[in-house]
Structure 1
Amino acid sequence: MTRTGDTLGYARVSTQDQSLTGQVAQLQKAGAIRVFEDVISGKQFDRPGLTALLDHARPGDSLAITRLDRLGRSLKELLETVENLKTKNIGLISLEERIDT
């Protein structure tokens, strides 16, 4: 896909015991100019890092994640987020699943 905006990364881990370092490095290697982070369970829909990314993103930008499960634990939650991105004309890149919209 041809990019017209910035690539913004989103990294999430579920507990304080887990590290964001690996995800952040992968996202930066994939071209993310900024990585927003959350240390919160995927069961929580209120994620300040993701909210900040969505507030910061502009039409033409892309949200990059390492895996789809970083956006949510349920299919419903994932689809709602993807629909929100589509409405805002923000692309989605998932490195593991090789998705690039």
Structure 2
Amino acid sequence: MLIGYARVSKGDDQSDALQLRALKEAGCDRIFTEAMSGGRWDRPELHRLIDQLRPGDVVMVWKLDRLSRSLKDLLHLIDRITRAEAGFRSLTEAIETTSPAGRMLMHMIGSFAEFERAMIQERTTAGLASARAEGRIGGRRKKLDAAKRREIAESVLSGRKTGAEMARVYDVSPPTVSRIVAEYQTALTAGGS
């Protein structure tokens, strides 16, 4: 069975008429339509379509970006379709997985995506190492300076205030206060040894 999937972004003044016409002309027996962003995973019609696939079915879309905006997500969806022993075809780009040549093309696209992810990871790692060498440390800045952290720890340890009270005073969570107190105690113990 040929099964179509048409999607327009929610909130846009887009129409799915062009997609529906193309999918009907291509011979789709059933068409699932949706008005949601292609970057979202919680698309109920897409999941209904995939859940109902049977061996030999072919999922058709007008363009690849109707199925997903992310190459990684696109490959994941096509993998799910393939695991259901179904095929995939994009009408505009003439990409399909129903022939050996089409499957080879999808593997090549997947290889390029994997290469791109590896290159991004390599550049990120090099950038972080360079920043550390220059004395810059990533992550969010601490909300509390050393003096405030010391005041929290000493107030809680002396019994003047509870951890919950200090959390409210400095607008932090109680686990943050517990962590500050534990770090302070560790520092005192290490300094006293």
TM-score normalized by the length of structure 2: 0.48
CA-based RMSD of the aligned residues comes to 1.0
Identity across the alignment (%): 45
- Please identify which structure carries the higher strand content: 1
Distance 1:99 1:74 in 2: 16
The count of corresponding residues between Structure 1 and Structure 2 is 96
SS at match of 1:31: coil
Report the CA distance between 1:15 and its aligned residue: 2.4
TM-score normalized by the length of structure 1: 0.90
- The counterpart of 2:54, out of the listed 52, 58, 69, is 58
SS at match of 2:20: helix
Letter in 1 for 2:76: E
State whether residues 2 and 28 of structure 2, in contact with CA within 8 Å, keep that contact through their aligned partners in structure 1: yes
State whether residues 10 and 35 of structure 2, in contact with CA within 8 Å, keep that contact through their aligned partners in structure 1: yes
SS at match of 2:37: coil
- The counterpart of 1:27, out of the listed 4, 11, 23, is 23
- Please identify which structure carries the higher helix content: 2
Structure (1 or 2) with the larger CA radius of gyration: 2
Unaligned runs of 5+ in 2: 98-193
Unaligned runs of 5+ in 1: 1-5
Asked which structure has the greater RCO (Cα within 8 Å, sep 6+), the reply is: 1
